[in-house]
C-alpha cells in the first residue's frame, strides 16, 4: 500500500468510523484492514482480527498490536504469533459457509449423476492450470465419471461448447448449488485455499489438491499439507509443475479405489468465533 496511502487511509477510516459509530471492528485480514484497525484503536473502539490461513500475514501482525483478540483458524498458527501478543490469540477455526452442508440445489437437483462424480474447483475465477490440464481428458473422464466443472467466467465459453455426456460446466457454483455439488462429489479436484481446505475437512471428502505455486508465504502448500496430515489416505497433493493430464487421471483412478465413508463434521468452530465477537460487543465501551 505504501506509507503515504496508509496515512491517507488512516484519516479516511477515522472519518468513516466516526460517521458509522460501530461498537466493535472485526477484520478478516488483508493490508487494507490495517488503517481501519489503527483508526479504531485511536477512537478507542475495540477490535478483533481473524487470520484465515496457516501463515500469519504482516497485516495480521500489525493489526494484532491494536486488537483485543487475534482469532486463528489453525492451531499451528499460534507458534507464529510473537510471545508478547500470545495472550491475545484464540484458535477459533474459520467461518464455514452453511451452504456447503445443504444437499439441495435450486437449479441442479434434476441432474442425477449415474456415475462417480468428480468436482473440479479452481476458485471463483477458475484455474487456468486446472482448466488447461483437463480440457484434453474430459472425453475420456466422462466415460467413467460424471464431471461437475467450475470453469470460471473467462473460460466458460470454451468449455460450454463441449458436447460430452456426463459433463456439467458452470462458470460459477453459487451458494444455492455448492452444497449439492460437494455432496454429489466422490472426488474434489481443487486449489488449496484455506476456506476450501477447511470445507473439504468438514465434509470429509476425498480430494486432489493442486496448490497455487505463488501464493503468499506458500500458504496454499501449507494448507494442503495440513489437510493431508488430517486425512492421509484420502488427500493427494500434486504440485502444479508436475501436473499433467496423465498424472491427474492416474491419481483420480487411484483415489476412486480408496474405500471411504465420509463423516461430515458440523461447523462448530463457527460458534467459537461468533461467541468471541459477541463477547467483545457485550463489553464494548460506549465511546460516542
Model pLDDT for residues 144-192, shown as the tens digit of each residue: 999 999 999 999 999 988 877 899 999 999 999 999 999 999 999 999 9
Residue 56: inside a domain, yes or no?
yes
262 within a domain of the structure (yes/no): no
55 and 175 co-located in one domain: no
Domain membership of residue 261 (yes or no) is no
What integer is the mean pLDDT of 250-268?
87
Residue 218 makes CB contacts below 8 A (sequence gap 6+) with 55, 211
49: in domain = yes
Lowest-pLDDT range of 28-42, 139-153, 208-222, 260-274:
260-274
Q: Is the same domain home to 248 and 208?
A: yes
What per-residue confidence (pLDDT) applies to 264? 80
The verdict on residue 70 lying in a domain is yes
Phi/psi of residue 26, each to 5°?
-120, 125
Shared-domain flag, residues 110 and 37: no
Residues whose CB is less than 8 angstroms from the CB of residue 87 and which lie 6 or more positions away in sequence, other chains included: none
Share of the chain above pLDDT 90, in %: 64
Q: Tell whether 181 is covered by a domain.
A: yes
pLDDT for res 287: 66
Query: Which one is predicted more confidently, 113 or 48?
Result: 48
> Are 93 and 122 a contacting pair, CB within 8 Å?
no
Highest mean pLDDT among 31-35, 235-239, 283-287: 235-239
User: Both 91 and 152 in a single domain?
Assistant: no
**Would residue 287 count as lying in a domain?**
no
* Ordered alpha helix ranges (H), 106-232: 128-135, 138-144, 156-159, 178-184, 194-203, 219-230
Q: Please check the confidence at residue 105 and state whether its pLDDT lies above 90.
A: no
> What is the predicted pLDDT for the residue at 35?
95
**Tell me: the pLDDT tens digits for 79-93?**
889 988 889 999 988
- pLDDT of residue 266 exceeding 70: no
Evaluate if residue 261 carries a pLDDT over 60: yes
Q: Which domain holds residue 40?
A: 3-96+268-282
159 and 34 in one domain?
no
Same-domain check for residues 103 and 189: yes
Check whether residue 144 and residue 27 sit in a common domain.
no
| CATH value at residue 39 | 3.40.50.2000
Q: Count the domains in the chain.
A: 2
Give residue 140's pLDDT.
94
Cell numbers that stand for 64 in this block:
494484532
Instruction: Give the torsion through C-alpha atoms of 162, 237, 256, 245, to 10 deg.
Output: 40
- Over residues 268-277, the mean pLDDT reads 79
Q: How far is CA 234 from CA 107, 211, 229, 242, 260, in A?
A: 30, 16, 10, 19, 8
Check residues 128 and 286 and name the one with the higher pLDDT: 128
Residues 187, 111, single domain; the answer is yes
Can you tell me the mean pLDDT for 26-50?
A: 93
Look at residue 119 and tell me if it is in a domain. Answer: yes
Amino acid at each position: 500500500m505504501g506509507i503515504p496511502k496508509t496515512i491517507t487511509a488512516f484519516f479516511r477510516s477515522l472519518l468513516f468510523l466516526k460517521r458509522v459509530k460501530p461498537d466493535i471492528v472485526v477484520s478478516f485480514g488483508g493490508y487494507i484492514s490495517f488503517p481501519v484497525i489503527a483508526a479504531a484503536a485511536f477512537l478507542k473502539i475495540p477490535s478483533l482480527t481473524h487470520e484465515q490461513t496457516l501463515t500469519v500475514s504482516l497485516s495480521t501482525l500489525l493489526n494484532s498490536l491494536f486488537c483485543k483478540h487475534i482469532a486463528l483458524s489453525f492451531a499451528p498458527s499460534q507458534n507464529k504469533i510473537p510471545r508478547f501478543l500470545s495472550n491475545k490469540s484464540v484458535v477459533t477455526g474459520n467461518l464455514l459457509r452453511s451452504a456447503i452442508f445443504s444437499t439441495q440445489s435450486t437449479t441442479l437437483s434434476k441432474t442425477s449423476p449415474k456415475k462417480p462424480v468428480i468436482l473440479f474447483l479452481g476458485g471463483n475465477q477458475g484455474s487456468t492450470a486446472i482448466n488447461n490440464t483437463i480440457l484434453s481428458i474430459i472425453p475420456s473422464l466422462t466415460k467413467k465419471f460424471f464431471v461437475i466443472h467450475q470453469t470460471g467466467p473467462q473460460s466458460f465459453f470454451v468449455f460450454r461448447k463441449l458436447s460430452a455426456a456426463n459433463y456439467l460446466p458452470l462458470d460459477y457454483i453459487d451458494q444455492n448449488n455448492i452444497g449439492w455439488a460437494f455432496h454429489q462429489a466422490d472426488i474434489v479436484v481443487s486449489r488449496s485455499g484455506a476456506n476450501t481446505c477447511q470445507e473439504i475437512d468438514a465434509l470429509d471428502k476425498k480430494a486432489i489438491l493442486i496448490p497455487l505455486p505463488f501464493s503468499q508465504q506458500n500458504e496454499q502448500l501449507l494448507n494442503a499439507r495440513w489437510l493431508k496430515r488430517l486425512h492421509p489416505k484420502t488427500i493427494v497433493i500434486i504440485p502444479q509443475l508436475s501436473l499433467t493430464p496423465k498424472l491427474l487421471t492416474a491419481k483420480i483412478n487411484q483415489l476412486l479405489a480408496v474405500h471411504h465413508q465420509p463423516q461430515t463434521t458440523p461447523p462448530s468452530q463457527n460458534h467459537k468465533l461468533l461467541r468471541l465477537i459477541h463477547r467483545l460487543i457485550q463489553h464494548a465501551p460506549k465511546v460516542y
